[in-house]
Amino acid sequence: MFRKSSVLGLSIGQAKEKRLQVRVEKQEKEQSELRRSRRAFAVLGVMVLLIFTIGALANWRSGNGPAASATTLAGQPAGMLLSPPPTLSATAPSKEYVYAGSALLATNEPFRQPPDDFAVWRPSSGTWYVLNAQQQWTAQQWGTNGDVPVPGDYDGDGKTDFSVFTPTNNTWYISYSSGGSTSVYFATGGDLVAPADYDGDGKTDIAVFRPSNGTWYIKRSSDGVLYSAQFGLSTGDTPASADYDGDGKADIAVWRDGAASFYVLKSSDGQIIGNSIGQSGDIPVVGDYDGDGIADYAVRRPSDDTWRIRNSSTGVIDSIAWGQSGDKLVQGDYDHDAKTDIAVWRPSNGVWYVRKSTTNALYAVQWGQLYDIPVPAPYRR
């Protein structure tokens, strides 16, 4: 040992040290191999995950993509109910009911809707201008001249998304407030856009009413399935979707001008109800004016600028003159009391005239200019 070590020119101590060094080097080599194999495993894992994600995305795209819905939509014949009504979700009701014995005393909304922001969309530049209650404003370009603004909360994050519908190619373009965007081919020429949350999942559903066959086509956000229902006439009916039965789902509904009536297909039980109010020539201005969570039938008469609102909680019709000829109707909850406020926007001076439901007093705000399109909603930017 000594000699060998001597031959190598090493002392015993040096030899021990050398052996130790070799051992350490060997351990290091093993550890480095282990690290390499772990790295390889990690890379492999990431690749597998990536492949799955791409696959899932591809599936999602093919399941929800424009082509799929376009084909189905174009292929829908006119007629009666073309597919079964949406199934009621098993989720809890959106309200708390307060009882005294069997008598319903009140309903408490656990999640109060955010207030509507003053907002306009400028066709010339495709820009959205939003002014919130704190007088802070924001602007975002989305859409081009000729588009129809279709604001809604399509991603369900509680913030309205800047969105437009392009009639020339029947495509919806949505800029999600949560990030990203999408385009969906959904409609044919002559369709009237009617986005609302029909399946009650908190996300706005892309939807149209087709006057030519009196049929509604709804792309349900909850499962991406196309739902269609024949409801309405080819002439004189205007979409008036809202939640009239208070189950948290928008109901398919029309305002029939010739009959001066609203017709509603209730989401809760599939029953059809009719309700006459006002007269032919009136404009529907549905909203929850009494704040009971149920949409109120309401119309505004251009000839006398009077709003006629049937309060769902009492059945009483309020008649209130508000605005003047040429004003755009922009009812919404601007004072944040969960009650819709009567409101108009005047194109000539860009002023919003709001009748606050809290005090019935006028609240006027200048926001927007001639040729803008008012698009009030809770953008929360």
CA–CA separation, 346 and 78 (whole Å): 40
How far from chain centre, in Å, is Cα 310? 27
Check residue 155 for interaction with Ca ion (CB under 5 A): yes
CA–CA separation, 49 and 117 (whole Å): 41
Please state the closest distance from residue 134 (CB atom) to Ca ion, in A: 17
Residue number with CB closer to Ca ion (296 or 341) = 341
| Binds Ca ion by CB under 5 A, chosen from 197, 257, 290, 296 | 197
Check residue 292 for interaction with Ca ion (CB under 5 A): no
Q: Interface residues for Ca ion in 301-340 (CB under 5 A)?
A: 333, 335, 337, 339
**3-state secondary structure at position 133:** coil
**3-state secondary structure at position 170:** coil
Check residue 69 for interaction with Ca ion (CB under 5 A): no
CA–CA separation, 308 and 162 (whole Å): 31
CB 194 within 8 A of CB 208: yes
Check residue 205 for interaction with Ca ion (CB under 5 A): yes
| Eight-state DSSP code of residue 301 | E
Q: Interface residues for Ca ion in 215-234 (CB under 5 A)?
A: 221
CA–CA separation, 21 and 10 (whole Å): 14
Other CB atoms within a 10 A radius of the CB of residue 119 amount to 30
CB 299 within 8 A of CB 308: yes
Please state the closest distance from residue 37 (CB atom) to Ca ion, in A: 45
Residue number with CB closer to Ca ion (69 or 221) = 221
**3-state secondary structure at position 337:** coil
Check residue 116 for interaction with Ca ion (CB under 5 A): no
Check residue 153 for interaction with Ca ion (CB under 5 A): yes
Check residue 182 for interaction with Ca ion (CB under 5 A): no
Please state the closest distance from residue 162 (CB atom) to Ca ion, in A: 9
| Binds Ca ion by CB under 5 A, chosen from 117, 191, 251, 327 | 251
Other CB atoms within a 10 A radius of the CB of residue 48 amount to 10
CB 168 within 8 A of CB 176: no
**3-state secondary structure at position 32:** helix
Which residue shows structure tokens 């919003």?
Answer: 352
Residue number with CB closer to Ca ion (10 or 338) = 338
Residue number with CB closer to Ca ion (296 or 335) = 335
Please state the closest distance from residue 41 (CB atom) to Ca ion, in A: 39
By CB under 5 A, how many residues form the interface with Ca ion? Answer: 24
Check residue 199 for interaction with Ca ion (CB under 5 A): yes
Give Cα separations from 296 to 104, 218, 286 (angstroms). Answer: 20, 23, 6
Which residue shows structure tokens 């009882």?
Answer: 99
Please state the closest distance from residue 140 (CB atom) to Ca ion, in A: 13
Please state the closest distance from residue 120 (CB atom) to Ca ion, in A: 19
* Interface stretch with Ca ion, choices 128-136, 196-204, 228-236, 294-302 (CB under 5 A): 196-204
Binding site for Ca ion (CB under 5 A): 153, 155, 157, 159, 161, 177, 197, 199, 201, 203, 205, 221, 243, 245, 247, 249, 251, 267, 333, 335, 337, 339, 341, 357
